[in-house]
Amino acid sequence: MNLEANATITGVGQGAIRSSIKSNIESTIEANQSFSDLLGKVQTIGREVLSRHAAEVDRAARFPQEAIEALRKAKLLSAYVPQTYGGRGLNLQQIAKICETLGRYCGSSAMIYAMHQIQVACVVHHAQQSPYFQKYLRRLVREERLIASATTEVGTGGDLRSSICALETNGNAFRLSKKAPVISYGEHADDLMITCRRAEDAPAGEQVFVMVNRQTCSLEPLSGWDTLGFRGTCSSGFTLQTEGHTEQIFPVPFSVILAQTMHPVSHIVWSSLWTGIATEAVNIARAFVRAEARKTPGETPLSALRLAEVDGVLQEMRNNVLNLTQEYQQLRWQEKSDAFDNFGFAIRTNNLKLSSSQLIVEVVSRALMICGIAGYRNDSQYSLARLLRDAYGAALMVNNDRILKLNATMLMVHKES
């Protein structure tokens, strides 16, 4: 009797398990197909909008309005917002893939999208317990608002972990003034997220993160933006003055936001779009090699060997991004917040940025050697000029020397290999 009961129970259990597995597989396939369809739309936007305006955006160093409007219309600015608030609920790996795809068509547009998603991730990961930010997430989805940030400050040497400016509070109201050497696309954003000291008597490292509406801000120019690459990001400097309500302050310290979200997400999405730029360089080199091969049917041109080599470097870039993204997502899913205080993860995150910013230059430079003078010319269908100029900007975004020095300091006390 017990054996029969056990067999029956076991049979039912196995059937339920099989049904559950089948349901999960079907859900995964459906989700993957849905994202594949979405990525196809991103590629269409890239071809029809970003690519069409990229050269002019670069030449005039102007904000890529057409690209952002196309992304807004496709509901991609709110893609990382959970479905609870009406967003697409994409994961970071999917956001990174979108950044990579956009990078193929316009580096500046991809960079703006990536930086916006960093700010969205900060809200999603650290502010959902706040009624103000819950309401903001719904508004972000409804209006597809573009978010910029002001995290650097004149006088801090680029150190995100310290601030000179401080909140001046009066009851539930605050005022804030900050000299920011860089606010990427600040004049074109709908909202700004700003770091500052918690109060006028707080030490430099006791920081908060504040969300303000761009319309409440006064931006007095400090510097322009006439650069070698990423010209369309319009990353000028400003003296920023604003005011608001204390509910606009994030409910957790900025140090937590930086360690758990801003630092890793920044390096993941930046590395992803740099991979996109590198991918386009390899695509251009491949088109050149194919054209050369048609001139000598039956023979493999020597340039094809160089193409095979550079494709291997590109694969290394892509794998590096994927590995850290998966590790980061796993830590978040498992809610291992203490892992972000571990020097090992911080070092690996920094190493991704270091390797990606170096490999992008290597890939584009090798592609240039493959295409030769055709890649060097600005008026050629094989031109790599804009891609090469953007590539050299990667090492300067949080200067690589600063990151190496930080890694060296952490490695001296880090116990794991």
- Provide DSSP, 289-339: HHHHHHHSTT---HHHHHHHHHHHHHHHHHHHHHHHHHHHHHHHHTT-GGG
For residues 292-304, give the mean pLDDT: 91
Q: Between residues 355 and 10, which one has the greater pLDDT?
A: 355
166 in the same domain as 106: no
- Kindly state the helix (H) or strand (E) to which residue 197 belongs, with its residue range: strand 191-197
Q: What mean pLDDT, rounded, does the chain reach?
A: 93
Q: Is residue 5 part of a domain?
A: no
Burial of 52 from C-beta contacts in 10 A (0-12 / 13-18 / 19+): middle
The verdict on 19 and 48 lying in the same domain is yes
The structure tokens listed for 2 are 């017990």
Instruction: Quote the tokens at residue 158.
Output: 């680029």
Across residues 68-81, what is the average pLDDT? 98
Alpha-carbon distance of 319 to 248, in angstroms, equals 38
CATH code, domain with 228: 2.40.110.10
Instruction: Give the three-class secondary structure for 287.
Output: helix
Q: What is the pLDDT of residue 4?
A: 39
pLDDT number for residue 27: 52
3-state helix, strand, coil in the chain (%, to 5): 65, 10, 25
DSSP state of 125: H
pLDDT at 417 (0 to 100): 52
Q: What is the pLDDT of residue 187?
A: 97
The reply to whether 276 and 315 lie within a common domain is: yes
What sign has the CA pseudo-torsion 382, 388, 389, 394?
positive
My answer on whether 73 and 188 are in the same domain is no
Tell how far CA 391 is from the center of its chain.
16
Number of domain units in the chain: 3
Q: Which two tokens stand for residue 404?
A: 């190496």
- Cβ proximity of 213 and 255 under 8 Å: no
The domain boundary, picked from 225, 248, 271, lies at 248
Average pLDDT over residues 90-112: 98
pLDDT at 130 over 50: yes
Question: Worst-scoring range by mean pLDDT, 76-90, 288-302, 332-346, 356-370?
Answer: 332-346
- At 241, list the tokens: 């003055």
Question: Is the distance from CB of 230 to CB of 387 less than 8 angstroms?
Answer: no
216 and 92 assigned to the same domain: no
Domain membership of residue 7 (yes or no) is no
Domain check: are 120 and 237 in the same one?
Answer: no
> Does a structural domain hold residue 127?
yes
- Calculate mean pLDDT across residues 286-292: 96
Q: What is the pLDDT of residue 21?
A: 45
Q: Is the domain of 124 the same as that of 242?
A: no
Specify whether the CB–CB gap between 335 and 392 falls below 8 A: no
Mean pLDDT confidence for 74-84: 98
Quick check: 7 pLDDT over 50? no
Q: What is 89-104 written as a DSSP string?
A: ---HHHHHHHHHHHHT
- Is the pLDDT higher at 310 or at 26? 310
In a domain, 9, yes or no: no
Query: In the predicted model, what is the mean pLDDT of residues 293-300?
Result: 90
* CA separation for the pair 347, 351 (Å, rounded): 6
Q: What percent of the chain has pLDDT over 90?
A: 86
State whether 357 and 394 are in the same domain. yes
Token pair recorded at residue 138: 């719904």
Q: How confident is the model over 164-184, as pLDDT tens digits?
A: 999 999 999 999 999 999 999
Domain termination site, one of 115, 143, 171: 143
* Residue 391 lies inside a defined structural domain of this protein: yes
3-state DSSP assignment of residue 170: strand
Do 337 and 238 lie in one domain? The reply is no
Domain boundary among 191, 223, 248: 248
* Bridge-based pairing state of the strands 237-245 and 173-180: antiparallel
Residue type, 73: K
69 vs 67: CA distance, rounded Å = 5
pLDDT confidence tier of residue 246, bands split at 50, 70 and 90:
very high
Q: Could you tell me the pTM of the whole model?
A: 0.92
Query: Model confidence at 213, in pLDDT bands (50, 70, 90)?
Result: very high
DSSP 188: G
Give domain status of residue 292, yes or no: yes
pLDDT in tens, 317-374: 999 999 999 999 999 998 878 888 889 999 999 999 999 999 999 999 999 999 999 9
Is the same domain home to 109 and 152? no
Q: Which two tokens stand for residue 127?
A: 């502010």
Residues 98 and 165 in one domain: no
pLDDT of residue 28: 57
Dist CA 325 CA 358 (whole Å): 19
What's the pLDDT at 66?
98
Q: State pLDDT tens for residues 398-417.
A: 999 999 999 999 999 887 65
Rounded to 5°, the CA angle 348-353-354 comes to 90
**Which of residues 318 and 25 earns the better pLDDT score?**
318
Residue 10 lies in a domain: no
Residue 3 in any domain: the answer is: no
pLDDT value of residue 249: 98
CATH number at residue 103: 1.10.540.10
Q: Inform me whether the pLDDT recorded for 16 exceeds 70.
A: no
Q: Which of 14-18, 40-44, 62-66, 352-356 has the lowest mean pLDDT?
A: 14-18
Q: Are residues 239 and 292 in the same domain?
A: no
Contact in structure between 273 and 233 (CB atoms under 8 Å): no
pLDDT at 6 over 90: no
Distance from C-alpha of 148 to C-alpha of 345, rounded to nearest angstrom: 26
Give the pLDDT confidence score for residue 13 in this predicted structure.
Answer: 55
Predicted local confidence at residue 3, as pLDDT:
38
312: domain CATH number is 1.20.140.10
Residue type at position 411: L
The residue range of the domain holding 75 is 15-143
Torsion of CA 25, 30, 36, 42, to 10 degrees: -140
Q: Phi-psi region for residue 185, left (φ > 0), alpha (ψ -120 to 50) or beta?
A: left
**How many residues in total does the chain contain?**
417
